[in-house]
Amino acid sequence: MSLASLSQAGRSPELPQAIELADAAGSAELILQQWLRVLPGQRYVAQAQWRGRSVLAKLLVGSRAARHFQRERDGAHLLAELGLPTPQLLVDGLCEGEGGWLLFEYLDGAESLWDAWRAVENQLLLSADQQAILADALVSIAQMHAKGLWQADLHLDNLLRHNGQLFVIDGGGVQVEVAGQPLSRGKVLENLGMFFAQLPVELTPLIEELLVHYLLTNGEHALPLEALLKEVEKVRKWRLRDYLRKIARDCSLFAASIGAFGLRVVRRESQDELLPLLNNLDLLTEQGHIYKTGGAATVAQVQVQGHPLVVKRYNIKGFTHWLKRFWRPSRAWHSWVEGNRLQLLGIVTPQPLAVVEQRWCWLRGRAYLITEYCSGQDIIARFNNCHDGSPPETELLALDRLFAALLRERISHGDFKGHNLFWDEGLARWSLIDLDAMQQHRSARSFARAYARDRARFLRNWPADSALHQLLNQRIPLTPVVGSAD
């Protein structure tokens, strides 16, 4: 394979592949062994072999290859020249009309801080393990800022832990203000805002405590907490808008096919596994374990390669019903959007895997939503023996956490019956299902009305004179007060 041919190779070029590259010692074959990241037609990152050693290869192709190559090389050189730990750049080159390549030392056994965080994210908030990971990240960020550098695409995946040392990677995102001089306060606040915005929202009250790790390494500026929190909030809003755009188009996270005669969006990492189900949706849904059938929706559990999933099919009951539905987004699409919204906001719901709409000249018909299966008990079953007593405190605290998140994000469920709230044993948190009527409100007044209905519907799951009803009524926050200006 030639370097230029990669630009036409799609998302999953066959491996192993050999590409002829040159360095000061002459030409040699780069043997690509495992793809680590692929941006079709632009960037291919792989573990590879070069002259008998393992390397990380970044191959840049397409019309912008020269510009991206220059950024990657400049960033890698800046990190190395200013003494920041980063994998050594071994070989680089640019061939006009074909593309560029950068070969770095491969840190065998390295773990990104993002992988480390995922292993501990469900521990108690700011546990010792969590604090150690965030402290390492903040020290590394502070070291960059002290040398005048910052990562424009700052996230935990760009920090690798290897043999007890933290390495900065992705030179393409490294930018410089004045090399060797501390970064200005405005840039510091902006970059830290990006970092903290990617952490769970519940950590926001602890940002001041976490900031100590940064300031002990780089105390050049006083960092006003209020200004930092404004940056965090600004980035969070941007991230949500950006993510909700991605769920409706073909990108690295989602495979999308949208047109006049159908819509199908699939989480890319699940695409191969789901293909047999997607090609036989009606048959496999009806052969599955049916929870609900007939009427407006059919809900079934199906098995895909031994993996239980849930398919919710939104039916068209007749011509009159079709007239009400064809012109607006399907309930499957609404649930797809809201499920992805909840996941980004850190509110537990079964992972949405795919959405399908049948269309004819853009007019919508039957639609389908496929999600992970939630195997836990719903809250009615979970609290069945607690009508005259108190449920486990862990489960009550998880309920407090859920309602606090809904209030913080101004989200109403719309059908808050107990059968739509399941206990996730692995996460020790409550998981929301049936998101057809879910809404994130812009207006405080409309949210207050919707929240009041949700709260009342939730409490009606238990008799008003039961001890459990009275306990929950005391714990669950009241409807927020809305001022005349709202």
pLDDT score at 266: 96
What's the rounded mean pLDDT across residues 51-67? 92
pLDDT score at 261: 80
pLDDT digits (tens, 9 = 90+) for 211-267: 999 999 999 898 999 999 999 999 999 999 999 999 999 988 999 988 888 899 999
pLDDT digits (tens, 9 = 90+) for 352-363: 999 999 888 877
pLDDT score at 327: 60
Distances (CA, A) of 420 to 371, 382, 423, 433: 14, 12, 10, 5
pLDDT digits (tens, 9 = 90+) for 89-101: 999 999 888 899 9
* Burial (0-12, 13-18, 19+ Cβ within 10 Å), 157: middle
pLDDT score at 484: 54
| pLDDT above 90 coverage of the chain, percent | 71
Domains, the chain: 4-105 (3.30.200.20), 111-246 (1.10.510.10), 254-372 (3.30.200), 379-475 (1.10.510)
Q: What is the pTM assigned to this prediction?
A: 0.86
pLDDT score at 82: 95
pLDDT exceeds 70 at position 121: yes
pLDDT score at 74: 95
pLDDT digits (tens, 9 = 90+) for 176-193: 999 999 999 999 999 999
CA proximity to 33, closest of 24, 41, 43, 44: 44
pLDDT score at 117: 95
What's the rounded mean pLDDT across residues 116-134? 92
pLDDT exceeds 70 at position 24: no
pLDDT exceeds 70 at position 319: no
Six-digit token string for 461: 């799951």
pLDDT score at 365: 82
Q: How sure is the predictor about 486, in pLDDT bands with cuts at 50, 70 and 90?
A: low
pLDDT digits (tens, 9 = 90+) for 397-451: 999 999 999 999 999 999 999 999 999 988 889 999 999 999 999 999 999 999 9
